[in-house]
Structures are given as structure tokens and as C-alpha cells.
Structure 1
């Protein structure tokens, strides 16, 4: 099924390189921040926070209904709490990326795979 270009969802990816002793604190802070975003902003479709097994990286994935919803939420985070930003500044490197979703493959409750292409 093709979706019109203006209906494409929007994904934000943030990868943090951090010392292993700070990984769990960053995961906790990102979890709290993501819960606030879901509660305070319309349009969050899904989110995921992933930690590398070596303790040195954390990946934060946020998918929004629209680019506008994601950007509005990001602006609120930029003006966010000092404790959160102090922890983020412990990262050796942070990579931010924004992506337009072109294809989703999902498994339904009946175990069927569905592929949704966006033109």
C-alpha cells in the first residue's frame, strides 16, 4: 500500500558513545525523557532505547506520526532539565539523525507480515 508523501512518519535516532559506568544512568534518563515526550506531545508512534553489550553505546529511537510532531518534541527537550543534559554531556560522542520512513515491515497479531511502502 502506497502512502502519500505528506503522510510519511518521521524517525529520530540518537547514538551515544559513553563510558560503561554511565550507561545505565543514561538509559534511565532517556527512559524518563521518552515517557515525558509520550505524555506531553501528540504523535509519538513508538520508541526504543537500546544498550550495547559492551556498555559503551546507547541508541535512542523515536518514531513520530509527522516531522512536525518530532521537531516540536525535540525543541522541548532542548530546553529541558539540567540533570538530563549533564548526563548527556558525559558522552564521548553523540550522533543525531532524522529520517523519513519509506517502508515499514510489521508482524500482526495473527503472525502475518505486512509491508507498507511509502512513495
Structure 2
């Protein structure tokens, strides 16, 4: 018996919601750093920290969260606003393609392509 939590759409829903929550939690830190730009010396000290591997990993995670949220959000908009005459499998394919695209963007970022 298949439960709702084992369905791909549930995981896409959860990925979209959790990535949105994580991005919302990131925003205050982002605004704080933007506020540092008013003091050039303070911003330069912070930017030196951004060269650390842990910060690079965090930036990669941020790109991954942004692309996951974007592609899963586009999936939801498509499901809600466009007529679907295709099969259920086509709608599920959006989940796989969205996840694959977000991973591709994440790996392109870590490789220095973007």
C-alpha cells in the first residue's frame, strides 16, 4: 500500500516549502551583510571570511535552495494555471526535471561556471 508520503509529489511539496523556509531564514543575515556595505572596512573583513570553504559550501547550498524553490514553484504554477490533457506521468516528470535542473545549477556554481 502506497502512502501519501512515499509519493513524488509529496517530496516536491516538502522540498518547495522547506527551501522557502530556509530562504526566509537566510534573508535577515543577508540584509545584515548588506548593511555592512555602509562601512567599507567592516565589509572587507566579512568578505575575507567568504573565502573559507565552509562559506563556499554555504553559498552552494543557497544556490541549490534558490533553484529548488524556483523549479518546484514553477511546477506548482504550471499545475494550477495550465490545462493538463496529458497523463499523470507528465506531471510527475516536472518533479524529476526540476530536481535535476536545480542540481545542475548547484554543480555549475560549485565548478565556477556561474
TM-score by length of 2: 0.28
More helix per residue: 2
Bigger relative CO (Cα 8 Å, ≥ 6 apart): 1
State the structure with more CA Rg: 2
Bigger share in strand: 1
